[in-house]
């Protein structure tokens, strides 16, 4: 039993370390922005523990800096994080039969990055909910430490140093490439990009993220069903 637990931790750590490595420059960047915005280190620590959503935290800090109202911040971050409904729906297929207590703990750590890594492992086989949980929690720990460190040492780091401003974009591109496993996935990715650009140009605000995700996922599902019927 103990050896099995150790193997689970090793497998989870092996899958999580690229996420943790990518989180450090992004978390440091967020910490630097938080320090520049005048927020204390403990506020960043609480945000990383209670929210644990990189894009929402970046948006929150930017809106606080712009002196936006609290209701506007809450509504914006809520809309941005609606994509978690799509990710949770996809993960539910691989987490059937798991206790609600475990699901409550697991759902806390679902992010774009951990979702992409765990879904890839689930599809490959030999992956279970315990290993997936290790991925989530290690990523969470790395994010917390990185954002806290960025806040504490932010005054010593020039803005944009070490390519920090590109780290988030680079990591998402890498995760996207891992998901492009067949022709349907590639078409769905291209549809998401086209819809997101068109939505952004025609509709103000940040709704293009959720809108493009849901529209492309729906179209991809329809294409996949038609492809299977044609076989």
Domain boundaries, given as residue ranges, for the chain: 2-158, 180-231
E strand or H helix at 73: helix 70-80
Q: Which residues does 134 contact at the CB level (< 8 Å), separation at least 6?
A: 8, 9, 11, 12, 13, 15, 16
pTM above 0.85, yes or no: no
Q: Residue 107 has what pLDDT?
A: 87
Q: Which residues does 20 contact at the CB level (< 8 Å), separation at least 6?
A: 138, 139, 141, 142
Q: Residue 170 has what pLDDT?
A: 66
Q: Which residue reads 């765990």 in tokens?
A: 118
Q: Which residues does 135 contact at the CB level (< 8 Å), separation at least 6?
A: 12, 15, 16, 19, 109, 114, 117, 118
Residues 147, 217: Cα–Cα separation, whole Å? 32
Over the chain (231 residues), what is each successive 10-residue block's mean pLDDT?
80 88 83 81 88 81 78 78 82 86 88 87 87 91 90 72 61 69 83 89 77 82 77 58
């Amino acid at each position: 039993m103990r050896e099995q637990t150790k193997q689970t931790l090793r497998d989870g750590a092996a899958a999580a370390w690229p996420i943790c490595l990518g989180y450090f420059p992004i978390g440091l960047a967020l910490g630097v922005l938080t320090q520049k915005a005048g927020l204390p280190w403990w506020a960043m620590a609480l945000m990383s523990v209670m929210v644990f959503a990189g894009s929402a935290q970046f948006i929150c800090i930017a809106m606080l800096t712009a002196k936006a109202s609290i209701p506007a911040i809450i509504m914006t971050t809520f809309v941005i994080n609606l994509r978690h409904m799509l990710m949770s729906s996809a993960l539910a297929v691989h987490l059937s039969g798991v206790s609600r207590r475990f699901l409550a703990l697991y759902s806390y750590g679902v992010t774009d990055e951990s979702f992409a890594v765990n879904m890839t492992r689930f599809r490959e086989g030999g992956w279970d909910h315990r290993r997936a949980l290790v991925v989530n929690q290690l990523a969470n720990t790395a994010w917390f430490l990185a954002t806290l460190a960025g806040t504490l040492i932010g005054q010593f780091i020039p803005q944009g140093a070490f390519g920090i401003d590109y780290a988030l974009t680079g990591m998402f591109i890498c995760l996207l490439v891992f998901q492009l496993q067949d022709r349907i996935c590639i078409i769905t990715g291209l549809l998401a990009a086209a819809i997101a650009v068109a939505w952004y140009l025609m509709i103000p605000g940040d709704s293009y993220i959720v809108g493009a995700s849901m529209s492309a996922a729906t179209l991809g599902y329809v294409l996949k069903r038609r492809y299977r019927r044609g076989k």
